[in-house]
Amino acid sequence: MYFEKTLGVSKIPEDAKIMRREAVRGVALDGDSIFMVHTSNGDYKFPGGGIEEWETHAEALKREFIEETGCSISDEMKFIGVITEQKFEENAYFVMKSYYYECKVEEKKQEQQLEPYEKRLNFKAELIPVVNAYKNNLLLVEKFGSIASSPWLGRETIALEYIVNNLKGRHKCEN
């Protein structure tokens, strides 16, 4: 499985001011189910977040996974795709690359360590059939638009679509 997609602005002027951010997202599959974070907006997002300057992708993903879910993941990770979001805001272009890694949940270690906005959105870790998470997010996109209920809804729905399509061949997953 591999995917690469760019969302938003397709071309950024050469002389433009650009603000860049990189993030990692964990794709923890268990058969035809996936470990996701469910929010009070009703959407599902992949556990993960921003990479600190001193971190490798693996270190950032392990830290973010524990913070958002309270669960640890194994050291084995497989890169499966990237989604780049590009938009113009506040007199600069914002470019965020989200790197997706297939990983395996090991155990529940501790309580979630949520940031204030994550607490407000009532982040809850959940194992859900991949098709259900995809259909749920797709309905929200169709109803409210790709960023109306959350800034990650469009990105995560696209990643879920790639995963659902891959599972059809691997696991005979029904769509």
The average pLDDT across 61-67 equals 94
Task: Quote the CA–CA distance of 18 and 146 in Å, as a whole number.
Answer: 23
Q: Tell me the whole-structure pTM to 2 decimals.
A: 0.89
pLDDT of residue 173: 37
- Is pLDDT of 66 > 70? yes
- Region class of 42: left (phi > 0), else alpha (psi between -120 and 50), else beta: left
What pLDDT is recorded for position 142?
Answer: 87
Q: What class has domain 3-170?
A: alpha beta
Domain ranges of the chain: 3-170
Cα–Cα distance for residue pair 135/139, rounded to 1 Å: 6
Distances (CA, A) of 85 to 27, 97, 147: 19, 6, 12
